[in-house]
Each structure stands twice: as C-alpha cells, then as structure tokens.
Structure 1
Amino acid sequence: MTNNIKKYRLLNVLYIVIVLIFFLFSFTQSSHLFRLVTLFLAWIPVAWGALKELKKKNWLGSELFFVLAAVVALIGDEELAMTVVLLVVLIAEYFEDIVEERTGNAIENLLKLIPDSALVQENGREKILAIADVWPGMTVIIKTGSGIPVDGRVVHGEAEVNEASLTGESAPQTKKSGDMVFAGTFLETGGLMVKTEKIGENTMFGRIRRLMEEAEKRKAKIQILADKVTFILTPLLVLFIGGVWWITKDIKLVITLLVFGSPIELALVTPMAILAGTVSAFRQGAVIKGGLALERFAKIDALVLDKTGTLTIGKPRVISVQSVDPKYSEQDVIRMAAIAEKMSGHVLSSAVLAKAESEHILVPDPDSYEYVSGHGATATYKGQHIRLGSQHFMEDINHGNIDKATLPMCADSEAFHSSFYLSCDDKLCGMICVADELRDNGKSIIEHFKQDGIKKIVLLSGDRDEVVKDVAKKLGIDEAYGGVLPDAKLKKIQELQKQGYTVAMIGDGVNDAPALKAADVGIAMGAMGMEPAIEASDIALMSNDLKKVISVHELSRRVIRTIKQNIILGLGFTHGLGMILALLHILNPIQAAFFHAVPDLLILFNSGRLLR
C-alpha cells in the first residue's frame, strides 16, 4: 500500500470519527443548529461523491439518492435519522473501498516483484543502474536471492529460477546459456549474466498488465444485461418514489425509499467479480482477456485439442535419421535439417538441434529462412535450397512436389513417431523420425472434461492419421483427425459452431492461430515469451500444464455463478424485499440504511472470495 493511500484512509477514518463525535453531541443536546451542522458534515462527502459520479459517468448513482433523501429529511425535520443513515453510508463506503482496492491492486502488487534497479556490466566493470537507465543489449548480472529486472537471454551461468509469478508453478526452472528469463521472476540459487532484450512496459509482465487493463473493457453478456437493467430501473425508481410521495405525502416513507438508492451498484459489482476472476487466473499462470472470454469458457460444450505440446509433453526427441540419397550421409541430413530449423520456434527445432549437438555437428546460420505455418521450413545455405517438413509439405506442388509413394515411413508406429522429410534442391535426401511422449495425466484430464459436461472432444493434428487416432484411443477421445492443416482446423471449428456447439480450442498459439481466433474461446498453451500466442488467444496459459485448463474452466464457472448471486442479492434482496418492507412501514430510514449497506458489502466480499 502506498503512503498516499495510507494517508487517504487515515483521513477518511478521522472524518468519520469527527462526524460521529458531532452526532453524539447533537444527540445529547437539543440544539437544532447543532443537528443541522452534523447532518451537513455527514452529507458533504456523499454529495461530493454524487457530483463526481454524475460528472464522470453521467448516471444517477446511490450517492445522489442519498443527497435527495437528505434534502427531504431537512424538509420533514428528520435530521437525526438522516445523519445516522449517512454515517452508515460513510462507514460502508470505507469498507467497500478496501475491498475494491484489494482486488484492483492485485496486479499492481505482482508488478512490484520487478526490481527498480539492475546490476549491469559495462566495460568489464559492475555498476547499479535504475531500471529506466537499462537498455536492450546491456548485460545484467543476477545473483542468488535477487529478482530478475528484465526480459533477456542467458549468456553465462546456470541457476534455478522461480517463475511462479508468471506460471503459477512453484517448482524452480533450471536456466542456462541460451535460455530466456523474464522480469518479475526470482533467482533462488546460482548466478546468471543476461543480455537484456526488453525492459519496463515491453517485458512479458508489462504486456500482461496492458492486456489486463484492456480486458476490463471487454464486457461479458451478463454484465451488459446488468447494465441495461440498472439504467432502465433507475429512472423508473425515481418516478415510483415520486408517485409514492404524491399518494401518501409520507416524508419518512419517501426518505426510506430513497435510502435504498439506485440499483446502479449492479453495474459496478459485476465487473468486480470479473476483475477478481482474471486476477485469480493470473496468479495461476493464465491470462484471460476479458469478461466475455470467462463467460464463454464457462458455457463451452465442445473442446478441440491439438496434439503436439498439448496432449504430448512438447519435448520431442530424434529417434532415427535416414539418408535416402547416397550423396548425403546421415550426418549431412542432420546438419542440413538443423540449418533449416535453426531460426524456427517449432517444437521440432529443439529436437533437431539437440541431435546435432549430441553428434558434435556445427550448425551455421542459413542465408535465408522462411517458416510455412503448419507445414515446415525452407532455407538456403551457400546456394543450396533446403526444405524440412511433413509429408503433405513435401507433396505440395508449391514446395517439394515429391511423389507420396517415394516417401519412406518411420518403422515403429507404436511409439507415436512422426516422420519429417528433408529435400535438397527439390529432391528427397533424408528422413528424420521424431517421438514425443504423452502427458501422464492426459487421460484423467480428458475424463474430467467429459464428466464436466463437455459433450464433444475432438483431436486435430497435422501428424499422420494413424498416429493421431492411436493417441486419441489411448486418451479416450472419440473423434480424431490426422493430416489436418491449419485451414482445415479452422473449418472443423466452424462446422462445430454451425452444429450449435460453443467451442474451445487448445493449441500452441502460433501454428493454430487461425483456429484459436475462430473458436468461441481460444486457449494457447505455453505462451510465456510468445507474444503471437497471447495475441491470438482469449486465454493464454504461461506454462504447458494442461491441468491449468481445468482450473481456469472451474474458475470461469465460479465467476459467472458469483455474478448471478450478486445480481440476486443486489436486485432481489436490497431493492426488491427492502422496498416492500419499507412500503409496509416495517423499516424506517435508519434500518433501511443498514438493510442497504449490508448486502452491498456482502456482494463485494462475495466477489473478493474469487481471489482466494
């Protein structure tokens, strides 16, 4: 909590105490003037709040209703009762501010994890710089027990880094030369020298912060409905109270009805629940881009999954290498495949490069490189045209244009092997077999989704059809399609939507970007450090833990359930039952103030529970 907030809260408490002291004196004294001064002191902050709301948002908030109630109280000589009402309002608003601040500042508190200075190395010497003075390219030294101040790549050292602030995973990750580290994470043991790539608002943390701020503007349908209801009810409520006065001429009854205020709180507590939900998801390592994504995810009844990196662990390894052209040895095939994949971010890249490293093969940079999403990669090196990709990539007339009959297959199809082909100057020259393991918890997660009401689960992959169907059978997925290109995934999702399904798509956020955008809810796995994945998805999971999808799905349902509870509590209890009791003369203005304040506080605390 900042010093300014502490001072503001202290002044609020002091002001309430002063008003309370004046009230106690006015209660014991018979001075009419003293009662008026007390009422005026209690009325000032409420009137100021009403003026700000009217000017800022152009709506009739509850504060304005209290202002009108105070005016009516003056006319009807009900100053003492109205002072009690306003005191209750001031105390309730104080607690409301605390709850709202706790929710709204949750992201800001996480951002405080980023150090405001960094130890940098320049010209062989170490010095401490303010983070604003650190620039991309500078080498930052991070020691045991220090927070990481920048996004960058490790150039020297090895360390255990706790990334829980981004991924929600408490187990530290080993970082060594070539690995990325992110601002806001914490170095537990070891030491690193990191070449700075991004600082401040450009870091992953800064990007997430902007997304969270933008997310507040994306309203869920239930929130839009609450807005419409409140804006319709507010003028009707004013007319209704005016009608009651016209018929009864009962000042105390009018004051009591005015105390219940405007139902505009309903338009305020709905975003509170959504904000609390998005903050809670962020703490678990998921970025949710708005209330609409939360609401849709709570209602999904169809789930489409990619295979690689979603149902498999996403760490493939090269099982075998085969040369199909006598001009090239297996070592040549590995070297050229590594050149083609060196600039790629595809999961195949790490497997091929690791194989090259294990064989002590030097891999130069390609002269040119192009990645064809969902197909493969093309590169040139010293005049030679190299392609590496899937079977359909090699068959495509615009790429390999190689006859399918000439393409060999990996021998062991039982191990979920995938075949990738290498062409050199438009002729097939090699094949690489890669295997990836299924996640241990994959089957139980699929079963959980089925029990949770998901009617249709579909597995789509660009891999061989027999491999994809075998994976689906082992995991209990009834519908699976192999050899599916990115545009075919998009069409399949559109087909499901036409059949009336609300579809969530889980993929890697890069190859699957079109499908993620087309789905009702696009979920990108392992999005940390991958801005395209975050941009393409509605929900971005920072880690590759599929269990997080279940956690966020359950959270989305809790958020929608909380919003519905809040609407019932606010509209049905406060403005429904409360006004009926007032019309029956069961509640007086002071009782109405408590009747109004308690549900409002319960609504805020109910939303705040989502942060736990």
Structure 2
Amino acid sequence: MTTLQTITLPVQGMDCTTCAQHIERDLSLLPGVQHAQVLLSAEKATVQFDSTQLDRATLVRRIEQSGYRVPSASDAAPAAADLGTLSSSIIVVFGLIFLAVIGLVILGEQFGWLDALTTVVPWPIGLALVLVGGFPIFRSVIRSALKGTVISHTLMSVGVVAALVIGEWPTAVLVVLFMRTGEYAERFTTERARRAVKDLTAMAPKTARVERNGHAMTIPLDAVLVGDVVIVRPGDAIPVDGTVVSGRATVNQAAITGESMPVEVGPDQTVFAATLAAAGSLRVQATAVGADSTFGKVIALVEEAEAHRADVQRIGDTFSAYYLPVVAGIAILTFLLRHDPLATAAVLLVACSCSFALATPIAMLASIGAAAKQGMLIKGGKYIEALAQADVLLVDKTGTLTVGRPTVTAIVPLDTTPAAEVLAMAAAAERDSEHPLAAAIRQAAQRRRLPVQAPESFTAVPGHGIRAQIGADTIMVGNQRMVGDGAAHPEGDRLEAAGNTVVAVARNGAVIGLIALADTVRPEITDALAAIRAQGIGTIEMLTGDNARVAAALASQVGISYRANLLPEDKIAVVRDYQSKGHRVVMIGDGVNDAPALAQAHVGIAMGVVGTDVALEAAHIALMRDDWMLVPAVLAVAKRTMQVVKGNIAFTAMYNLVGLTLAALGVLPPVFAAAAQSLPDLGIMANSARLLRLRGIPKRRATTIPVAERAADSCTDGCCTLAEPATAIIPLQDRRL
C-alpha cells in the first residue's frame, strides 16, 4: 500500500526566485520528502512525501523556520490587487518619498547632521532603532546563516554591523531604512508580475446556484458535484464546465479563449467555467468542476509554467549563487588595500543579488499571465526563449491549415452497390471514431436518414484508416495502403485533382466505392503566414499524410512547401532532421494526433484546444481559439519578452559593476550605497511591467482561396447531392495518417 501523499500549501513572503529555491531546498532536506516544488507566481508549495514519516504540520513548520508564512484556511486571503493594482499616481508618490529621503541624507552628510546625532543621541538608542527596524531582515539572515546559507541581505547586514562598530549608528539606521525600502520594492515588483495570473484567478466564480431536491440554492463552488444542474442567470459567470439542459444565452468566452465576441449557446451545447452569460439564462448540467474544469486547468498550467525555466534564467540563478561570494571577496580586498572600513561597508551594501534573480522570472511571469488572458497559454519560460529563436515552422494540414470540418462532396460506387449503401457502410465503420473525417461521413448519413448499424468491433490503424466488423461483413475505410490497389480509380484521381480527399470503402476485401470529402482553408492563413515570415521564420513547411497531388494543391495556394504521404513517425523524423542541422523548430498541430511531433519539436503549438484535455497536455503552447493570427501574436510576445529580459540583465550587470567600483574607490558612501541597491528592482519592474499589456494582436482579415475546379456529383442514384459551389474548398485527408 502506497504511503505517498501530495499536498499544496500557500506560502507568503516570497520576493524572488531565490526565496522559492531556499524553501525547496529546506523542504527537500526533510526525511520522507520525495519532491518539492515552490512557485513564486502562485505563492504555493507542492510537496510529495511519505505520510508515515511526515505530516502537514511538519511541512508548515519547516517553511516557517525558513522565514516565510503559511496562512491557515481561516485567514483572509491576501488581496490580489493590493500591490499589483496600485495606480501610477501612487507609484509616483512612492518615488517622490524615496527621493526626499535620499535628499535629506545628502543634506545630512553635507552639513554634518548625521555626525551631530551621534553626540546628541546615545549609542544604545541608535542600536535599538537598528534592531527594531531591521528585525525581520536580521531574523532571516540569522536563520539562513545557521543553515550555512548566504542570502542577499547577509552582506548588507554585515555592513550594518560594521557601521555600528565604528560608531556610525545614524548610518546604520539609514541603511536599515533602505533595506526595508528595497524589500518593499522587491515585493512590489513581484506582485506586479503576479498581477496577470491573479486577474485570471479572480475571474472564477466562488459560488454556484444549483437545483437540489426541487429547490434552487446558492452553495460554495467546491460543494458542487458533477451531475448537478446549475442555474445561470443573466450577467452571471458560469461556475462549471457543462452541457446546457435548457435555455439560451449569449456567452462571453473571453476568460477562456481571449475572444471578446460572444457566442450563442442553447440546449446540448457545451459551456465553460468562468465564461459570462451576458444575456439570457441557462440550466447547465455540470461535467467538470473547479480544478477539473477547463479554466481550472488553464490556471494550473499558467501557475506551473514557472517551473519550466528558460536557459537564460538558469544562467541568472547560477550567477546569483556566485555573486555574493565574489562581492565578499571584493569587500575583503577593499579593506586590505585601502584600509577604509567605510568603503568596505559600502561594497557590502551596494551589492544587489536579487536584481539578478528577478531579471528573468519577472518578465516571464508578466508575459505568461498577460498572454493567457488573450487566449495564448504558454507553459514556461523555456518555450518563450525557444520560440524567440525559432527559424523553422512545420504545420499539420487538417484542422490546422484547414478548418477541420469536412463535408462529403461525392460518392462513387465501384460495383453494383448503391451509393447510399456505400455511405451507410462507411458511417457504421466510423461510428465510434472521434476523427473529423469520421464525423463528416456520419453527418452525411444522418442528413440522408440512412440506417447506421453499430459495429461489433472497431480498430483504428495508424497511417491507414478504420477496420470494423458489422454483422458478417468486415468493413474497411481508408487509403490505398489500407484497402489495396482496388482503391485506385480514374474517378478518384479526378476528384483529388479537383481539390478533394478521397477515401475508399471496402467490404470483405473488395472495394465497393469511394467517398470524396472537402474542407475549407482558414481565411486568415495568408495574412498570418506573411506576419510569421516578417518575424524571421525563414522556412514554413506543411507535413501531411495526404497524397502528393492533394498536398501540392493546398501548398501552392497558401505559398508554402510540403511533404506528403507521411506517417506519424515520418513527421517526427522530419522534426529531428531539422534539429540535427541546428534549426530551432516550431510544430503546429491539433494537439491530439500530432502529439509525438509536437513533443519532439523545440516548441509544439496546439490550436483551438478549448475543452480538449489531451491537447492541453500535449503542447508546449496552447492557443485557446482557432485563429491563426494568434501564431504571429505569440511569436511577437516571445521576441518582446526576450528583449526585455536581455535589457533587464544588461541594466542589472552594468548597475552593479558601476556601484561596486564606486564603493570600492570610496566615492560612494555607505548610506548612498544602501540607497542605490534598492533602485535596480524598481528599474526591472518598470521595464518588465511593459509586458503586462500586450501590444495589439494582429486581426484576421477574411480572404478566400479559390479552388481550381469543383468536383461534379458522382452519385448515380440521387441520394447524395453535392453542396452548392463554394470558395476555399480544400482536400481533407484522414488525420490518422
């Protein structure tokens, strides 16, 4: 019997990734802990442990011993916007107060006021002011020292002690003031980055109105059960994923898809938690609640994105680990060479390691949260970094370049079997398939009111098609690899050349007919591909299991290269081939059938994944709505984010280099050094905060792509009439290929 248990604990007081790493390390050292993950953005720790060795109280105690707080369930939740939603005017006031304090310090130094204080006020009072003001910081430093760890405030605390030893207690008091100011600045910076994630979380309703025993009652969301019928009134946020039982409403799905244009929903349609019923009322039967809903999974993935750190962030973390010992070494050299305790103290005080730790994750958190609000779910900084470097884009065809909602355009009997029977046999074989091609065949049979039998057995053959047992007959629906050479027919060639995808239907090994289907290319694809090329993607290639003639027709119409007749393993091989040549590869697919290729690529992007659990898990980036303009948009987010990260790192490195140099030369007094060390955090915040507001996402402009020829109706018995001629008819091949 397993004794492993996983628990999630809220953690308060973290300011940067270094804090999260300290807690992770401290938890991991406990006997019985298998895995510990601390997320700065979500302010929580997830711990997997042996319940026979540990309990929740022990884990909480260890976190609190590390200098952080685990609020109890009865504590009021911290306001999500206390710091994150401060207005610009408040930020300006904060800056003015900070500058005023620095001004007073300058005047104090200029006119000797600080020195005069040492003769008027006894040293013990100064010591008491330092201890009281700096107690929270000194406590963290001492706890870390007892564990053999040096944190960012350790060196500054040594500087405070040095100031006290030489009798400069006013300097020590001001240093403590600036330490607390810097601590506040770090919290402010981190909260600004958390803002987008918290805004997302705030969209989730906390209660639901359900029908119980014939009565409507309002209950907490965590008390709602799958199967409950939830009442949604006009203006309410829908609290669960579910199916509409009755009623009609206009629903704003921006919380899930980022699309502000509302959709109309009615009976038997699916709705999602956190979407807003702008007009109309609904009765919804819950199919997923809380963390199991689509919105809950989006929140979880956004929070956990922090765990997938970019390489540049790992470099920053490593630099931070070595930075403090280097600063200590510089301080020692300064004292040995200059014999100046004030300059030595200034070196210790000016060092700002937290700014290095904040430079990358703050920008990543801001971008990931802001992108999620626009329907772009990025699962980690490593994928932002890889996407910004990408130079090859590989694209699935069906459901990606095309809409993925095919229709039957023609049926060609090849023996004495009537066209209606060919369609009925195919629909029966495809009855249990979830593939869009199968759905199109079933819909065609349903529209013609054909009887469709339930198959006794059903097997999907990857790269080939479907095999099913229907009564005494074995029915196969698929390509020539599935049914043999009997699928080759001049009429099938003509239909493919006209822009259709053709599948063969075989009964007991003999081909009895062909079914032609067509799909529509996405109208925004031309503009999207142009925008992608403008962002530096030099190679765009379509990978498809379709035959070369059909693939060539589509590729020429959208202006990209192609590879045809590919099996799933062939697509993976193409990705690996590009990677072996040093390219950074992005793969775009539907997130289900293309999962292996998506996983193999440096960045896998799945389109239109709302309500699709497999797609959410398979891709590194999930686009919550079927809009190709989101692809250049997420590329722009990645490139802009990396520009901000590089700017943060360059600014921090230069600032610290100048500060350490001036301090070591005695140009920067300890008081000014302490003031200076808190400024980089504000600079990083100001630069990274630009990412909280995404620049305008490109809008799609409807276009049509004409088809060279429209296939004629090949149905000989009048039961299968083609749809009216239309633009943008593109062949659809079975995505089982």
Q: How high is the TM-score relative to the length of structure 2?
A: 0.75
TM-superposed CA distance for 1:259, in Å, is: 1.0
Cα offset, 1:5, TM superposition: 3.1
- Counterparts in 2 of 1:64 and 1:554: CA distance versus 1, 3 Å: same
In structure 1, the partner of 2:705 is: none
Distance 1:6 1:432, change over 3 A: closer
> Where does the alignment leave 5 or more consecutive residues of structure 2 unmatched?
1-11, 13-74, 84-89, 91-96, 694-737
Identical counterparts, % of pairs: 32
Question: How far, CA to CA, are the matches of 1:242 and 1:420 in structure 2?
Answer: 79
Out of 166, 174, 195, the residue aligned to residue 264 of structure 2 is 174
In structure 2, C-alpha distance between the alignment counterparts of 1:265 and 1:450, rounded to whole Å: 35
CA distance in structure 2 between the partners assigned to 1:108 and 1:548 by the alignment: 23
Contact 2:211 / 2:217 at 8 angstroms: preserved in 1?
yes
Cα distance in 1 for residues equivalent to 2:142 and 2:166: 24
Structure-2 separation of matches of 1:508 and 1:65: 52
| Equivalent residue for 2:590, pick from 485, 491, 508 | 508
Structure 1 partner of 2:632: 550
Give the distance between the partners of 1:335 and 1:51, measured in 2 at CA: 78
Aligned to 2:505: 422
CA contact (8 A) 1:373 1:511 kept: no
The alpha-carbon deviation at position 150 of structure 1 amounts to: 1.3
Indicate if the aligned counterparts of 2:189 and 2:681 stay in contact, CA closer than 8 A.
Answer: no
1:83-122 to structure 2, matched below 5 A, reads 83-122=173-212
- Structure 1 stretch 361-370 or stretch 428-437: which is displaced more? 361-370
Q: Within the alignment, does 1:40 sit opposite 2:131 as a pair?
A: yes
- What is the CA distance between 1:458 and its match in structure 2? 0.8
Deviation at 1:119, TM superposition (A): 2.7
| Cross-structure match for 1:5 | 78
SS of equivalent residue, structure 1 residue 196: strand
With 220-229 and 94-103 compared, the bigger mean Cα shift is at: 94-103
1:584 matched to 2:673? The reply is: no
Q: 2:678 aligns with which of 591, 597, 608?
A: 597
Q: Aligned to 2:653, which of 535, 558, 571?
A: 571
Structure 1 residue 65: deviation in Å?
1.5
CA distance 1:45–1:7, shift in 2 (3 Å)? farther
Alignment of 1:238-257 (within 5 A): 238-257=328-347
Match of residue 332 from structure 1: 421
User: Which residue, 555, 558, 567 being the options, matches 1:472?
Assistant: 555
Letter in 2 for 1:5: P
Look up the SS of the partner of 1:326 in the other structure. Answer: coil
Q: 2:35: which partner in 1?
A: none
SS at match of 1:216: helix
Contact 1:139 1:195 in 2 (8 A): yes
Aligned residue for 1:345?
A: 434
CA contact (8 A) 1:490 1:515 kept: yes
Distance of aligned partners of 1:4 and 1:516 in 2 relative to their CA distance in 1, 3 Å threshold: closer
8 Å Cα contact 2:193/2:689 also seen in 1 = yes
Residue 455 of structure 1: how far off its partner (Å): 2.0
Equivalences for residues 476-495 of structure 1 within 5 A: 476-477=559-560, 479-495=561-577
Q: How many residues align?
A: 593
Change (3 A) 1:441 1:590: same
Equivalent position of 1:356 in the other structure: 445
Larger fraction in helix:
1
Deviates more, 1:262-271 or 1:61-70: 262-271
Q: CA deviation at 1:533?
A: 1.4
Amino acid aligned to 1:316: P
Q: Is residue 234–residue 264 contact of structure 1 (8 Å, CA) maintained in 2? A: no
* Counterpart AA for 2:348: L
CA distance in 2, matches of 1:37, 1:7: 35
Q: Residues 464-503 of structure 1, C-alpha deviation per residue, up to 9 Å, x if partnerless?
A: 32222122112221x2122222111111111111222111
C-alpha distance 95-263 of structure 1, shift in aligned 2 (>3 A): closer
Query: How far apart, CA to CA, are the structure 1 residues paired with 2:219 and 2:240?
Result: 12
Aligned CA-pair RMSD: 3.0
5 Å-filtered alignment, 1:429-468, equals 429-468=512-551
Q: CA deviation at 1:577?
A: 0.7
* Residue identity matched to 1:590: V
Aligned-residue offset at 1:407:
8.0
8 Å Cα contact 1:154-1:192 kept in structure 2 = yes
Q: Which segment drifts farther, 122-131 or 235-244? A: 122-131
User: In the alignment, residue 422 of structure 1 is paired with which amino acid?
Assistant: V
* Per-residue deviation, residues 7-54 of structure 1 (Å, max 9, x unmatched): 9989xx9xxx9xx9xx99998792123322222222212213434666
Match of 2:599 among 517, 522, 530: 517
**Given the superposition, is the C-alpha separation of residues 49 and 116 from structure 1 closer, same or farther in structure 2, using an over 3 Å criterion?**
same
Aligned partner of residue 78 in structure 2, secondary structure? helix
Q: Quick check: 1:117–1:149 contact (8 Å CA) kept in 2?
A: yes
Q: Could you report, residue by residue, the CA deviation over 1:405-438 in whole angstroms, capped at 9, with x for unpaired residues?
A: 3585174556632112333343323332221122
Partner of 1:165: 255
Query: Where does 1:146-225 land on structure 2 (aligned, <5 Å)?
Result: 146-225=236-315
Aligned residues of 1:294 and 1:556 also touching (Cα < 8 A): yes
Tell which deviates more after alignment, 527-536 or 373-382. 373-382
8 A contact 1:416–1:436 mirrored in 2? no
Matched, 1:498 2:580: yes
1:59 deviates by 4.4
1:540 to 598, 601, 622: 622
Q: Does 1:405 align with 2:488?
A: yes
- 2:243 alignment partner, SS class: strand
Whether the aligned pair in 1 keeps the contact of 2:331 and 2:345 (CA below 8 Å) is no
One-letter identity of the residue aligned with 2:586: A
Say if 1:509 and 1:527, in contact at 8 Å, map to a contact too: yes
Counterpart code for 2:639: R
| One-letter amino acid of the counterpart of residue 278, structure 1 | I
Shift in CA distance, 361/125, structure 1 to aligned 2, threshold 3 Å: farther
Q: Secondary structure at the match of 1:463?
A: coil
Distance 1:212 1:325 in 2: 56
Q: How far, CA to CA, are the matches of 1:377 and 1:155 in structure 2?
A: 34
Deviations 1:153-179 (A, max 9, x none): 334343322111111111112333333
SS at match of 2:283: strand
* CA deviation vs aligned residue, 1:498-521 (integer Å, no higher than 9, x gap): 222111100111111111111111
- In the alignment, residue 215 of structure 1 is paired with which amino acid? A
Instruction: Tell me the equivalent position of 2:39.
Output: none
Equivalent residue in structure 1 for 2:458, among 366, 369, 380: 369
Give the aligned partner of residue 162 of structure 2: 72
Is the Cα contact below 8 Å between 2:496 and 2:502 reproduced in 1? no
Which whole-Å CA distance do the structure 2 matches of 1:385 and 1:54 have between them? 75
Q: For the Cα contact (< 8 Å) 1:245–1:254, is it kept in 2?
A: yes
Q: Which amino acid aligns with 1:555?
A: V
Query: Which deviates further from its counterpart, 289-298 or 91-100?
Result: 91-100
Give the SS at the match of 1:308. Answer: helix
Residue 548 and residue 388 in structure 1: after superposition, are their counterparts in 2 closer, same or farther (change >3 A)?
A: same
Distance 1:208-1:608 versus aligned 2 partners, 3 A rule: same
Alpha-carbon shift at residue 91 of structure 1 (Å):
2.3
Residue by residue, what CA displacement relative to the aligned partner does 1:54-106 show, whole Å, maximum 9, x if unpaired?
Answer: 679x7422211221111101011121122222212322322331331232253
Equivalent residues of 2:308, 2:381 under 8 A apart: yes
1:561 aligns with 2:651: no
Rounded to whole Å, the distance in 2 between the matches of 1:218 and 1:606 is 22
Q: Alpha carbons of 1:556 and 1:446: their partners in 2 closer, same or farther (altered >3 Å)?
A: same
Cα shift at 1:366: 4.2
TM-fit CA distance, 1:306 = 1.0
CA drift of 1:262 comes to 4.7
CA deviation string 1:340-375 (max 9, x = no partner): 334333222443343334324465654443444454
